[in-house]
Every structure is written in C-alpha cells, then in structure tokens.
C-alpha cells in the first residue's frame, strides 16, 4: 500500500529582509503642463527642476486673445511658452503651490499650470529616470 504524505507547510518569517539597494518605490508620475510668458519660460523651467523633474519639454506658443481683449485686460505680450514636465505625484502639491506663489509675486510672471496623470511608461530604466528612482542594471539584477 502506498504511503500518503501530508504536504509540508513552510512558515514564512513575519519580517522580510530586503536590501535598500534593491528596494524600488512605486511613484506615480504626472505630466505637469505650465503656460507662462515666453520671457519667463527659462526661469520656470529651472524652478521646476528643483522638484526632481528629470525631463522637460518646452515649446513656444501664441495666445489666442485678439488685440481688443488684450488691451481690455491690460496685457501687452501675447507670446507664450508651454513647459511639459514629468513629475512624481508626491511632488505635485508642492510644485503647484510654489508656481501659484510665483505667478502672484513675479512681475510679468503670470501663468497657468495643471497636471495630467500618466497611466504607463515603457521600460523600468525609463521609469526609474523619470521618477528619479534610478537603479543601475547591476543593482536591478541582484
């Protein structure tokens, strides 16, 4: 008669030891779109880099208001710049608050900013770069 063995149950330790080098945090990313006067674009791009923004794209734009509307609002310059920045979701509130303060206090520095959620990024190295959570290939294999 064959013997029947009970499956062995392995107890796992309540605390797992993981190396900090191998630990990767999951930071959601957002696309921060900032529209500012063209002559202030470089200032705002530099400001956003202080929030660990590793990738920015700046494009020139032109406002859509006609001359009568610009005169009514007291605006003279219709040339704009749009800054697209990839930023960690956890840094968005601080970045938007800082932008809002700068929009209020800098002469001729008014602007608009909003975020759009990014649903996916292709590749772990690209994600690591964009989220400022870079693991080298060697660390990732360990």
Predicted pLDDT at 136: 46
Reduced to 3 states, what is the DSSP secondary structure of residue 1?
Answer: coil
The whole-model pTM stands at 0.69
Rounded Cα distance, 47 and 98, in Å: 9
Q: What is the 3-state secondary structure (H, E, C) of 92-112?
A: HHHHHHHHHHHHHHCCCCCEE
CB count in 10 Å sphere of residue 104: 9
The residue among 138, 100, 134, 115 whose CA lies nearest residue 27 is: 134
CB proximity list for 131: less than 8 A, separation 6 or greater: 27, 29, 88
Cα 105 to Cα 26, 89, 99, 109: the distances in Å are: 35, 25, 10, 8
Q: Choose the most confident range, by mean pLDDT, from 11-25, 83-97, 107-121, 127-141.
A: 83-97
Q: What is the pLDDT of residues 111-141, one digit of tens each?
A: 999 999 988 878 888 888 888 776 544 455 5
């Amino acid at each position: 008669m064959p013997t029947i063995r009970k499956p062995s149950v392995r107890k796992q330790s309540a605390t797992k030891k993981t190396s900090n080098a191998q630990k990767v945090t999951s930071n959601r990313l957002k696309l921060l779109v900032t529209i500012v006067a063209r002559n202030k674009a470089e200032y705002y791009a530099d400001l956003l880099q202080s929030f660990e923004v590793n990738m920015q794209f700046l494009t020139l734009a032109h406002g859509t208001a006609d001359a009568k509307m610009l005169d009514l609002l007291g605006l003279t310059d219709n040339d704009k710049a749009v800054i697209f920045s990839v930023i960690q979701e956890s840094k968005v509130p601080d970045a938007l608050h800082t932008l809002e303060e700068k929009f209020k206090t800098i002469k001729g520095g008014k602007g608009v900013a909003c975020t759009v959620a990014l649903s996916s990024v292709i590749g772990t190295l690209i994600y690591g770069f964009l989220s400022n959570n870079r693991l080298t290939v060697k660390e990732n294999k360990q």
